[in-house]
Structure 1
């Protein structure tokens, strides 16, 4: 018998409330965070190339950056779990469902925190992914999870508000757990190899332009970051 997940049983809003509680931020706190944005930092502007701009440099631009990536991951895992690849084990189905729910919660958190400053919902492009085969799904999942960890680590130093930084730290630790699990499915023992760690045993960070260049290959709605020197 299939076990009902938090989102299936109670809806995405309850999932969001639960995530906010566990993250240490109440709904009222999110409202205060969102209300603190200045219009000059507002994202969602349509750029010259037709892409969505993250907004002026600052905390809300970084939150929109994270929101864009979480939208992409949530959409991917939602599609994966809607029709699991051939030969998926019960453990794989259960764990991919957990990952999906984590990404949905992350997405909804950023959407609530940003409020009217949030960029629009993005349209994914998974035409290069064969969701019917394990190899294609795992390769894409590994790319997304490694990208997410490197993105948070690469942008963390730009976050000025300590509350945002704390939340980002909590989320990136979950993304790293996902990455380790997926990497071990692809190649046992590769959960922390030299392709993702530096000589000090730390995850290699990536800049916003580096991350968006990869993310945009999976998005119909392209994301720009003019303030950080990147145009799709």
Structure 2
């Protein structure tokens, strides 16, 4: 991969070697996702033969098998895409020019993730979720960045935890590509909050944490008005 030069990015003042990428350079980070889009859309979700547990008709049931896992990812991507759309629409002016470019890139990436998961799921996709951002102060830059950190860290942990349940090797590969982009998002947001903290989530083995679907959905619940059931996901 081509290394960013000082013309392509802005060197941080702390001299750590961390480069804040400009818009075009940052979009290269999502190259794997662009490839994943093509591959994923050529592979249809298999029908699941597993028996499912009945749910309340007002509850959004993610489903079972690989379809359930992809719907789980789709639900989280809906949340992230909606959040960054709000940031770009309401709060862009409080960020520097470089930060504005990053926020616009994040909005674009999450929208791509959301849209191709929906297309891949086809008729098996859960409906559009109704988000609740009433606790987020979009007039407070620090609150926006803190929320972005929460969503990005949650997304990475969700993919890390659910990937083991995917049976289709192609889906597992694609999930790995998406989570690599999400991890870059998390790193950039952390560095915007405090320079040099981009890897603070890693453990002593250099690995990001993993969370199970029930825990992830509980953490995301305050931001989603719909009740979501993961009862039929693989365990």
Which TM-score band applies after superposition, normalised by the shorter structure? 0.7 to 0.9
Counterpart pick for 1:33 among 44, 57, 79: 44
- Any idea what the Cα deviations from partners look like across 1:50-106, whole Å, max 9, x if unmatched? 3211112x1110000000000000000001001225531111111100000000000
- Equivalence map 1:1-232=2 (5 Å): 22-23=35-36, 25-26=38-39, 30=41, 32-34=43-45, 36-38=46-48, 47-48=55-56, 50-56=58-64, 58-84=65-91, 87-193=94-200, 196-228=201-233
Shift of 1:20: 7.3
Distance 1:99 1:24 in 2: 17
Stretches of structure 2 that go unaligned for 5 or more consecutive residues are 1-22, 24-30
Q: How many residues align?
A: 206
Distance 1:59 1:139 in 2: 32
Shift of 1:189: 1.5
CA 1:204/1:159 → structure 2, altered by over 3 Å: closer, same or farther?
same
Q: Which runs of 4+ in 1 moved over 4 A?
A: 18-21, 39-42
Distance 1:85 1:31 in 2: 36
CA 1:182/1:32 → structure 2, altered by over 3 Å: closer, same or farther?
closer
CA 1:24/1:82 → structure 2, altered by over 3 Å: closer, same or farther?
closer
- Any idea what the Cα deviations from partners look like across 1:135-186, whole Å, max 9, x if unmatched? 1100100000000000000111111111101110110000000000001111
Distance 1:188 1:46 in 2: 48
TM-score by length of 1: 0.81
CA 1:182/1:147 → structure 2, altered by over 3 Å: closer, same or farther?
same
TM-score by length of 2: 0.80
Query: What is the alpha-carbon root mean square deviation over aligned residues?
Result: 2.6
Provide the residue aligned with 2:14 in structure 1: none
Structure with the greater relative contact order (CA < 8 A, sep ≥ 6): 1 or 2? 2
Contact 2:32 2:177 in 1 (8 A): no
Shift of 1:199: 2.2
Contact 2:92 2:100 in 1 (8 A): no
Contact 2:61 2:228 in 1 (8 A): yes
Distance 2:77 2:54 in 1: 20
